[in-house]
């Protein structure tokens, strides 16, 4: 960071201290937050569009839902964690970093992401049915030095947000805490099964301040444990209670399937997450990837449409009707907020535990490995360039994916750039993926078109295909 940016960060840090100090005095807190909106507008100008500042001011002045949510989050999270998340995720990643990634993207003519998702290991302490970590075997690690190198190169390019999955990232806790300490301006999010969370590592996380957690949960006790093993659900609840008590920033991560949708979309499930202190909830549509995939678990069009409406409803209101908060995100149905597919470095990319730089955690093809190439070279690989050229893959962002909803496109791209399969257990041909997705895509299309027209009456585009 240059001197000017350090001074700007310092200015935001002072204001963050003030905002946190006033978190129990709504009037002062609102005034501080309005000051933050003014400062952000001055700093960023029209970078994110004027409407965002207008809406933020309106929310704060009218004590709207999002203002109440922000205050609730601030009151539940440890001051150090809240301040670091705001500075690293806000000032560093969304403000400073985003400007840099966009200018480099223009300079090199490639996508530069603002998030990198990495699997530091394929090792896991559990053996869940259908998990991609199980597919990749349990023997692969990216060395500390390589992880450190990726993050250092990323910081130089304006990338300050690093997510980790696996395998179980907590099996690499000693390395992850070193990385978090060595890169204090970066924000880290670990997707974890939570069974290795303990009072000591939670205390270390709180002291570091720049780590958040997304905890895997597949439903209630019986469903969760049938996939993840007996006793897992109770261990997850225990971990969430501990994280909540210590003021950690955390949420949940759930894969929704034909089987578990009634459970994981129920009021009871959302209220369970809120009771345990989750502030956000990721929902991932089941993807039929790999040799053990079960296309029978793909949601029906009615189920997917239900999830679309249900997640928007929970975001707008409260599942218990008492105004309690949770921010659910639907990786597949929320494409409209990010203009479709975010992969291939457009917003994010994935590095598997072998070091292969893949467009997305669900797309196991790559032309380059981070162990032999720089981050910039990996982001410049042919597969990422063809992603950039063809994104968005559909004008209807309820059909964003080149695999799931537009399955012919992935095969075309893979063949065009000769990207080999990076699935380490059993290389998968794109034709095989196509076969698993084609009938799903055809069944979803009419429902997706109907929903898109209803929510975007001004749209003049039909679908691409």
Q: Does 403 interact with ligand SF4 (rule: CB under 6 A)?
A: yes
Q: Does 363 interact with ligand SF4 (rule: CB under 6 A)?
A: yes
Minimum CB separation of residue 402 from ligand SF4 in Å reads 6
Phi-psi group of 219: left, alpha or beta (phi > 0 → left; psi -120 to 50 → alpha; rest → beta): left
Minimum CB separation of residue 320 from ligand SF4 in Å reads 31
> Using CB under 6 A, which of the segments 44-52, 93-101, 247-255, 359-367 binds ligand SF4?
359-367
Minimum CB separation of residue 364 from ligand SF4 in Å reads 11
Alpha-carbon torsion angle 169, 370, 346, 10, nearest 10? 70
Q: Does 409 interact with ligand SF4 (rule: CB under 6 A)?
A: no
Backbone angles phi, psi at 429, to 5 degrees: -75, 145
Candidates 114, 325, 362, 365: give the one binding ligand SF4 (CB under 6 A).
362
Candidates 180, 360, 379, 409: give the one binding ligand SF4 (CB under 6 A).
360
Map residue 400 onto helix, strand or coil: coil
Give the chain's radius of gyration (CA, Å): 21
> Using CB under 6 A, which of the segments 73-81, 84-92, 336-344, 446-454 binds ligand SF4?
336-344
Q: Does 136 interact with ligand SF4 (rule: CB under 6 A)?
A: no
> Using CB under 6 A, which of the segments 113-121, 337-345, 418-426, 437-445 binds ligand SF4?
337-345
Q: Does 342 interact with ligand SF4 (rule: CB under 6 A)?
A: yes
Identify any residues that bridge with 212 across adjacent strands, giving them in sequence order: 189
CB contact burial 158-167 (16+ within 10 A = b; e otherwise): bbbbbbbbbb
Residue 82 or 360: the one with the smaller Cβ distance to ligand SF4 is 360
> Using CB under 6 A, which of the segments 171-179, 246-254, 356-364, 423-431 binds ligand SF4?
356-364
* Nearest alpha carbon to residue 92 among 204, 205, 16, 191: 16
> Using CB under 6 A, which of the segments 41-49, 194-202, 335-343, 434-442 binds ligand SF4?
335-343
Q: Does 114 interact with ligand SF4 (rule: CB under 6 A)?
A: no
Which two three-digit tokens encode residue 197?
């969370």
Minimum CB separation of residue 72 from ligand SF4 in Å reads 29
* Nearest alpha carbon to residue 195 among 284, 135, 124, 131: 124
Candidates 77, 176, 205, 341: give the one binding ligand SF4 (CB under 6 A).
341
> Using CB under 6 A, which of the segments 110-118, 128-136, 354-362, 418-426 binds ligand SF4?
354-362
* Nearest alpha carbon to residue 290 among 419, 409, 429: 429
Under 8 Å between Cβ of 63 and 100: no
Minimum CB separation of residue 67 from ligand SF4 in Å reads 30
DSSP H/E element including 447: helix 430-455
Alpha-carbon gap, residue 284 to 204, rounded angstroms: 29
Residue 240 or 404: the one with the smaller Cβ distance to ligand SF4 is 404
What is the maximal distance between C-alpha atoms in the chain?
59
Alpha-carbon gap, residue 73 to 68, rounded angstroms: 9
Alpha-carbon gap, residue 406 to 255, rounded angstroms: 20
Candidates 70, 180, 249, 343: give the one binding ligand SF4 (CB under 6 A).
343
Minimum CB separation of residue 131 from ligand SF4 in Å reads 17
Identify any residues that bridge with 369 across adjacent strands, giving them in sequence order: 356
Q: Does 401 interact with ligand SF4 (rule: CB under 6 A)?
A: yes
- Helices 26-44 and 50-61, axial angle in degrees (round to 10): 170
Q: Does 250 interact with ligand SF4 (rule: CB under 6 A)?
A: no
Residue 82 or 305: the one with the smaller Cβ distance to ligand SF4 is 305
> Using CB under 6 A, which of the segments 253-261, 307-315, 320-328, 398-406 binds ligand SF4?
398-406
Under 8 Å between Cβ of 422 and 415: no
Q: Does 236 interact with ligand SF4 (rule: CB under 6 A)?
A: no
Alpha-carbon gap, residue 85 to 17, rounded angstroms: 13
Which residues are near ligand SF4 by CB under 6 A?
341-343, 359-360, 362-363, 400-403
């Amino acid at each position: 960071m240059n001197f000017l940016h350090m001074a700007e960060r310092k200015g935001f840090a002072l204001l963050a201290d003030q905002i946190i100090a006033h978190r129990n005095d709504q009037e002062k807190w609102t005034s501080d937050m309005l000051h933050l909106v003014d400062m952000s507008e001055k700093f960023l100008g029209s970078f994110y569009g004027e409407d965002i500042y207008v809406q933020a001011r309106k929310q704060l002045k009218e004590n709207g839902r999002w203002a109440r949510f922000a205050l609730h989050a601030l009151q539940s999270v440890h001051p150090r964690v809240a301040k670091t998340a705001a500075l690293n995720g806000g000032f560093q990643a969304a403000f400073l970093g985003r400007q840099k990634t966009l200018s480099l993207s223009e300079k090199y003519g490639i996508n530069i992401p603002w998030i990198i998702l990495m699997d530091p290991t394929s090792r896991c302490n559990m053996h869940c049915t259908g998990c991609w970590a199980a597919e990749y075997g349990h023997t692969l690690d990216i060395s500390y030095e390589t992880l450190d190198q990726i993050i250092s190169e990323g910081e130089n390019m304006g990338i300050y947000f690093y997510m980790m999955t696996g395998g179980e990232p907590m099996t690499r806790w000693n390395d992850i805490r070193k990385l978090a300490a060595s890169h204090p301006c970066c924000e880290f999010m670990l997707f974890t099964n939570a069974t290795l969370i303990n009072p000591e590592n939670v205390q270390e996380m709180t002291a570091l301040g720049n780590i958040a957690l997304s905890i895997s949960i597949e439903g209630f006790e019986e469903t969760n444990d049938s996939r993840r093993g007996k006793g897992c659900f109770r261990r997850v609840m225990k971990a969430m209670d501990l994280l909540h008590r210590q003021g950690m920033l955390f949420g949940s991560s759930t894969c929704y399937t034909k089987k578990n949708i009634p459970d994981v979309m129920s009021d009871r499930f959302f209220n369970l997450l809120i009771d345990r202190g989750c502030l956000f909830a990721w929902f991932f549509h089941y993807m039929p990837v790999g040799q053990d995939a079960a296309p029978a678990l793909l949601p029906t069009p009615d189920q997917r449409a239900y999830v679309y409406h249900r997640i928007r409803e929970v975001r707008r209101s409260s599942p218990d009707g008492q105004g309690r908060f949770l921010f659910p995100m639907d990786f597949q149905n929320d494409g409209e907020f990010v203009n479709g597919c975010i992969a291939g470095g457009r917003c994010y990319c994935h590095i598997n535990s072998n070091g292969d730089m893949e467009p997305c955690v669900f797309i196991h093809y790559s032309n380059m490995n981070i162990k032999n190439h720089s981050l910039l070279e990996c982001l410049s690989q042919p597969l990422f360039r063809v992603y950039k050229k063809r994104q968005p893959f559909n004008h209807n962002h309820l059909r964003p994916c080149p695999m799931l909803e537009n399955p012919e496109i992935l095969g075309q791209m893979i063949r065009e750039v000769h990207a080999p399969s990076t699935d380490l257990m059993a290389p998968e041909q794109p034709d095989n993926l196509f076969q698993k997705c084609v009938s799903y895509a055809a069944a979803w299309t009419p429902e997706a078109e109907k929903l898109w027209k209803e929510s975007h009456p001004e749209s003049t585009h039909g679908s691409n295909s």
